[in-house]
Structure 1
């Protein structure tokens, strides 16, 4: 059986009142895979991702049987060691990336900070790498973007900046949480094609979280379906889409249109 590059087993998350938000969920990602987690808002998919990265809000309590990051068990690691591992090796594109950047700080200062911190490089080296990555993700004038404030660039540009930010430390894995929400179809397709290129050409494994089954259908080889905090179905995307077993998955399929 193939070992998981990243995996959390038997995850349960509760709030301060003891309400169960995520109930006995297990998800994993193998090397070079493009895997999706799909479900409606409130299904627990983002909380599951946050638990996997050990960045849940302090108001929530997570319990799990096993947590593996980059083929390493986190058992015995302290919080600082886990943060360092995540910061160096896992590129995280958070939910609602359009508003993720600080509005009053220039892009060049924001995009270089993690690189300087984790890689112990100079600001000049960070700026040079950031410009290369901005070009790589399709920004034709990286110098202008680097010297801009977030409000001076478009939503699609912000998405690409955040993708470049996630790539700054040459991560071995990318985790993207609903990065295409509220984008128009053209920009959404551009962003997804960037992820697809990273996966296919660079071999970077991607865990992609979305409520949009069409995106999962088009780009992911394997899928987890979450509903009301539970994992209700999982398997190859082709199998889940052609022979869905759970009523919620069938409902999602009935209510969506295939991306052309």
Structure 2
């Protein structure tokens, strides 16, 4: 299979040297649905924004290798990367309103990018926009297309973002918490849409989420991040059958069950994510880990079960 993304040892840091993403490696095959999971602040969104060239100006990145859709980010001209991102990568942001201009109607915002990159007519672009917003679960398509972003709910804006991401038939869709602000029925409709696009056009989907339960049912492989580092990577079935890292084990354990009784408290992971402003020696998860030993304060090692299952821990649990 062709590699769509091949990133080795990506590090994202502030100008002062504070490391936010620490030597993350990520690869995707063509047509694959990959889930990246972890708590807020673990580096999921920063990794995605590096791929779409939208890191905040106060951050910088470096990597040993960074290739996306055949483009080498380490040597390519900025214009080449911008063209790639606009034409062949669709992005669904976590912040539903940030990428929508408040004073431009939805119909124009969805259609303009399609016209720019495909040279279609405005009529053709509007026709496709209508079909996509309908597929995203919007019934009154004409009212929505003639609205401004500030007239829409967060859930409606999110579905607009999804339609925009799909307009150019991208080879890769990056969906950052795509079901935020959506009720459970629309959530299923949205992720089913991603799966349908994947099946119909062999489009790769990089789904970022804090919801491991959601990722379990829609992704083929999972990358678990914590405090800017990869804790574990494996196929979905292997990950849930044989989780190796204590953090992965705890994430699986706290997935809400349909059998939970009324009034029963949901399980949670004790402790807090470490302060990345401080230099952390050894394992970044040690303060929350029940298996912690003295060696964890000094070092942590990467272990390989096979080429499809790796984890970062001093012990084979």
Return the TM-score normalized by structure 2: 0.76
Worse-matched range after superposition: 49-58 or 234-243: 49-58
1:221 corresponds in structure 2 to 220
What corresponds to 2:180 in structure 1?
A: 181
Partner of 1:192: 191
Q: In the alignment, what sits opposite 1:80?
A: 79
SS, match of residue 82 in structure 1: helix
For these two proteins, the number of residue pairs brought into alignment is 259
Give the TM-score taking structure 1 as reference length. Answer: 0.92
- When structure 1 is superposed on structure 2, of 125-134 and 47-56 the one drifting more is 125-134
Of Structure 1 and Structure 2, the greater helix share is in 1
Map residues 59-78 of structure 1 onto 2, 5 A cutoff: 59-78=58-77
In the alignment, structure 1 segments of 5+ residues that lack a partner are none
Matched, 1:113 2:109: no
Once superposed, what is the RMSD of the aligned Cα atoms? 2.0
Tell me the residue number matched to 1:34: 33
Max Rg structure: 2
Higher relative contact order (CA 8 A, sep 6+): 1
On the 8 A contact 1:7/1:52 being kept in 2, the answer is no
Offset from partner CA, 1:18-57 (integer Å, 9 cap, x none): 0111111011211111110000001001111111222211
Distance 1:130 1:23, change over 3 A: same
Structure 2 unaligned runs (5+)?
260-317
CA distance in 1 between partners of 2:20 and 2:75 (Å): 26
Using the alignment, how far apart are the partners of 1:113 and 1:137 within structure 2?
Answer: 19
d(CA) in 2 for partners of 1:35, 1:259 = 25
Q: Distance in 1 between matches of 2:217 and 2:256?
A: 11
Q: Distance in 1 between matches of 2:104 and 2:223?
A: 37
Structure 1's consecutive aligned runs of 4 or more residues displaced over 4 angstroms after TM superposition are none
Task: Kindly report which structure 2 residues correspond to 1:142-153, keeping only aligned pairs within 5 A, or say none.
Answer: 142-153=141-152
